[in-house]
């Protein structure tokens, strides 16, 4: 896979999250799988798409990871 450049395929930090949201809605995928699907569709290494994903999508990916126990829950302690 190649490194992503903003001009490649017209993908930028505004269009990439929209493609993920579209995949979630139409293909009924979770956000993790939708991100991987979009990366495969455009031949993008998933490690390189980090800067293209906005905060909202990152939070949804984190939520999905917590649901499937792929990410350890961070306990916030009140002192």
Averaged pLDDT for residues 35-51:
92
Per-residue model confidence (pLDDT) at position 79: 47
Domain boundaries, the chain: 8-67
Instruction: Convert the pLDDT of each residue in 25-40 to its tens digit.
Output: 999 999 999 999 999 9
Using an 8 Å Cβ cutoff, are 66 and 73 in contact? yes
66: CB partners within 8 A, 6+ apart: 73
Local confidence band at 9 (pLDDT 50, 70, 90 cut-offs): low
């Amino acid at each position: 896979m190649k490194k992503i450049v903003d001009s490649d395929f017209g993908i930028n930090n505004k269009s990439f999250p929209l493609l993920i949201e579209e995949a979630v809605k139409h293909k009924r995928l979770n956000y993790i799988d939708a991100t991987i699907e979009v990366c495969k569709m455009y031949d993008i290494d998933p490690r390189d798409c980090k800067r293209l994903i906005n905060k909202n999508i990152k939070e949804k990916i984190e939520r999905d990871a917590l649901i499937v126990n792929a990410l350890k829950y961070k306990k916030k302690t009140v002192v």
